[in-house]
Amino acid sequence: VECDEQKSICSKYGVSGYPTIQWFPKGSLESKKYDGPRHAESLAEFLNSEGGTNVKIATAPSSVMVLTTDNSDEVVLDKNKDVLVEFYAPCDLYLLPSWLPTYEKVASAFKTEGDVVIANLDADKYKDVAEKASIQVHLLAKTILENPAGINIKINVVCAGIVASLDALVKEFVATSSEEKATVFSRIEEEVEKLEGSSKRYGKIYLKSTKNCLEKGSDYAKKEIERLKSILEKSISASKADEFTLKKNILSAF
C-alpha cells in the first residue's frame, strides 16, 4: 500500500512508519505487525509460523565467513591474515537489497587470497563481540579495499549513522500524540548524553532532526530527505556526501 496515496487505509491500521509489514490471517482484518529482520529467510520463517506452511528459501553458498563469539578472536587476531568485518544488526533500515550482493561479490573476489578474510557478524546476537570491537553503529560508513593486483573496490554502506536506541525512541516520537512529543524529545536528549565516540556525533543529528520536526511539523523529515537526495545527485565533495548521507539515513527513521 502506497501510504502517501492511500492515507485512510494506512491510518486505519495504525501505520506511522515506513516500511511497515502486517500479517492478516485468513478471513480477518485483525492484523499482526511483523517486527523481525527484513530479509527473505526471516520473512519466510514468520510466514511458516503464522500460516502453518513449511517453505524453505534456497540460498547459494556464501564466501562470507560468519563470525560468532566462539570464532571471532581466532579469525580477527590471526597475525597472518587481514580481516574485513561487516558488523550488522537486523534493524528496520537493515540493508538495501543492493548491499548484500555487493558484499558477497567482494568476498568472492577475495576468496583466493589466502591472507585476506571477508567476514560478518550479527551485532545484535553477539553483542559481546561487537562491544569489544567498539562498534557504535550497525555498519562502517565507508571502506576502501585494495588487493595486490591493484583492483580498487569502493563500498558505500546504506545504514551508516544509525543508533538503535535512538531509532527506537524516534519511532515512539513519531507515533505519539502532539502533547507527548516533548516528553519523548527529552528522553532522546538524555539518551544522546550517554553516547560516546562517533555515536555521540550521530546522536546530535538525531536530536537536531527531532527538534526540527517539533518546530516545523511532521512533513519536515520527508522534505529534508528529498532536499538531501537532490544535493547528493550533484557533484559534491566526498566529505559533504558522507555528511548528507548520514543525515538522510537518520531522517529515514522519522
pLDDT of residue 224: 92
Domains in the chain: boundaries: 7-51, 65-146, 164-252
What's domain 164-252's architecture?
Up-down Bundle (1.20)
Q: Under a CB-based contact definition with an 8 Å cutoff, are residues 106 and 67 in contact? A: no
Count CB neighbours of 21 within 10 A: 15
Q: Under a CB-based contact definition with an 8 Å cutoff, are residues 209 and 250 in contact? A: yes
- SS3 call for 223: helix
pLDDT of residue 109: 87
Please tell me the pTM assigned to this model: 0.42
What's the rounded Cα separation, in Å, for the pair 251 and 211? 12
pLDDT of residue 118: 93
E strands, 68-141, are 82-88, 116-122
Number of helices followed by number of strands (H, E) in the chain: 10, 7
Question: In the chain, helix, strand, coil percent, each to 5?
Answer: 45, 15, 40
pLDDT of residue 140: 35
Residues of the chain with pLDDT under 70: 89-98, 133-160, 198, 238
pLDDT of residue 122: 83
What's domain 65-146's architecture?
3-Layer(aba) Sandwich (3.40)
pLDDT of residue 93: 40
CA dihedral angle for residue 233, residue 247, residue 200, residue 190, rounded to 10 degrees: 180
What's the rounded Cα separation, in Å, for the pair 89 and 164? 9
